[in-house]
Amino acid sequence: MRALIISVLLGLVVDVTRGSWSIQPIPQYPSVRGSVTLSPTGINENIVSVTWFKGTDTIPPNQILVYITAQSTTIQGNVYSSRFSAFSPGSLQITDLLLTDQGEYTAKMQTKETTKDVRVTLTVHEPVTKPKITASTPQPKENEPLTLTCVTSHAVTITWTRRGTSISSGAKLSEDHKTLTFSSITRGDSGEYQCGAQNPVSKDFSEPYAVSVLYGPDEARIEGEVFVRPGSSITLTCSADSFPPPEFQWKVNDTDTGAKTSKYGVNNAETEDQGLYTCVVRNPVTLRTATAAVYINMTAEFIPPRNGYSLGLILGFAIILAVVLIIIGSVFICRKFMRKRLNESPDNEPDPVPVYENVKAGQPSEDPAYMGLQFRYEETYTELKV
Ligand SMILES: *[C@@H]1O[C@H](CO)[C@@H](O)[C@H](O)[C@H]1NC(C)=O
Ligand SMILES: *[C@@H]1O[C@H](CO)[C@@H](O)[C@H](O)[C@H]1NC(C)=O
């Protein structure tokens, strides 16, 4: 009984050993026009000869070649071609692979003890074709759908990337990753997209595809001074966020001026130039428009500029300061003069000191005077603004 079990076990062990005879393709993923070596492995007995067959039937019409190990000789079979060759200890090399080389191969291996058929299935991979991105619409408008398709063959995996940044989470990939769909594209989705295709034998990427979402203008803005003195000029600049960049139209009191640029100006403006200045911006592709308007008030009244100091104001204050300094200087000289005339003692110190302090509190050296000018100017400016 025990002997039987042992022999069964031994048989199993032998079977397992024999079962590990196999043939490995090298490389693991051969490609069209490449080559492959079908290499027997796990054989620990000396191989006398190997007969290779295309297919599973080990019949002469399917015979590729016979390799006799001892002499390293090859005997050509019925389906032999120059693309086949054999190597020790019985490997079959196929060069210049064709798709028709795919399928099963059988190696009939002869050792001193036994003969065994070992099979292998050969898969020949085709490199991926260079991917190309196509779009459902060449010029997507904001909030409309867009589908990008990666056109490629023989890919096992397809990946999508966007240059410089990630693809928005609103975009959905199809199950096979061939399409990327934006159900409602936004201006932020504009950018350069690329798809990559890969299989075990190759990898390639598409050229970048530029998605330029058409949008805007949502609103228009006019910049420029609205209070203009007769004789000076009206200078207005209109802007709007839009792709492609907007076209401009300027109207004054609802009459088209014919101007077509972002800037509009009137040199040497007169009182009659007062009125409502309107800028109409238009997206040249979507034809969507937006409007902004300002009322230009021609006024003879002095209106302080919004930024910076007016030269007139600074001059005015400089004159006032000069006058104040002259007055203080005169008072100082007068006092000294009077003191001399009264013939007071020169050792009498308490008198000159309060005089000096007085001057300091008023407008003495340069720095405090400058600060005083700024302060007073701002006060006046605030009054004017109000
Ligand atoms: C616009 O209309 C106002 C008043 O309706 C008028 O005073 C002004 O001269 C007009 N401006 C132009 C440039 O026609
Ligand atoms: C122009 O501006 C002056 C000063 O602010 C104002 O008194 C006048 O009403 C304005 N004119 C118009 C037509 O808005």
Between 172 and 324, the higher pLDDT residue: 172
Q: Which of 156-165, 208-217, 282-291, 340-349 has the lowest mean pLDDT?
A: 340-349
Confidence of residue 336 (pLDDT cuts 50, 70, 90): low
Atom of ligand 2 nearest to the CA of 295: 14
Residue 296 Cβ < 6 Å to ligand 1: no
What pLDDT band is residue 302 in, cutting at 50, 70 and 90?
low
> Who's near 185: CB < 8 A, 6+ residues apart?
140, 142, 143, 144, 145, 146, 211, 213
d(CA 249, CA 290): 11
**What DSSP letter does each residue of 268-289 carry, written as one string?**
T--GGG-EEEEEEEE-TTT--E
Cβ atoms < 10 Å from Cβ of 276: 12
pLDDT at 345: 46
Question: Which atom number of ligand 1 is nearest to the Cα of residue 276?
Answer: 1
Instruction: Give the model's pLDDT for residue 353.
Output: 37
User: Ligand 1 centroid vs 260 CA: distance in angstroms?
Assistant: 21
The answer to whether residue 264 scores a pLDDT higher than 90 is yes
What residue spans of 108-248 are helical by DSSP H? none
Ligand 1 centroid–CA 231 distance in Å is 17
Q: Determine whether the shortest distance from the Cβ of 253 to ligand 1 is under 6 A.
A: yes
**Protein residue with least CA distance to atom 10, ligand 1:** 275
What confidence tier does 15 reach under pLDDT thresholds 50, 70, 90? very low
pLDDT in tens, 212-223: 999 999 999 999
Residues 40-56, mean pLDDT to the nearest whole number: 92
pLDDT digits (tens, 9 = 90+) for 118-133: 999 999 999 999 999 9
Handedness of CA 368, 369, 371, 376 (dihedral sign): positive
Ligand closest to Cα of 294 equals 2
pLDDT over 50 at 362, yes or no: no
Q: Which atom of ligand 2 is nearest to the CA of 298?
A: 1
Shortest-distance atom of ligand 2 to CA 297:
1
pTM of full prediction above 0.85 = no
The total of other beta-carbon atoms located within 10 Å of residue 360's CB is: 11
Ligand 1 mean position, distance from CA 278 (Å)? 13
Window from 162-166, 182-186, 236-240, 358-362 with minimum mean pLDDT: 358-362
Largest CA distance in the chain: 152
266 CA distance to ligand 1 centroid (A)?
Answer: 14
pLDDT at 26 over 70: yes
Give the number of whichever ligand sits closest to the CA of residue 384. 2
Task: Indicate if the pLDDT at residue 310 is higher than 60.
Answer: no
pLDDT of 85 higher than 60:
yes
The pLDDT of residue 332: 62
pLDDT value, residue 12: 41
Is the model's pLDDT at 150 over the cut of 50?
yes
Top-confidence residue, 310 or 179: 179
Residue having the nearest C-alpha atom to atom 11 of ligand 2: 297
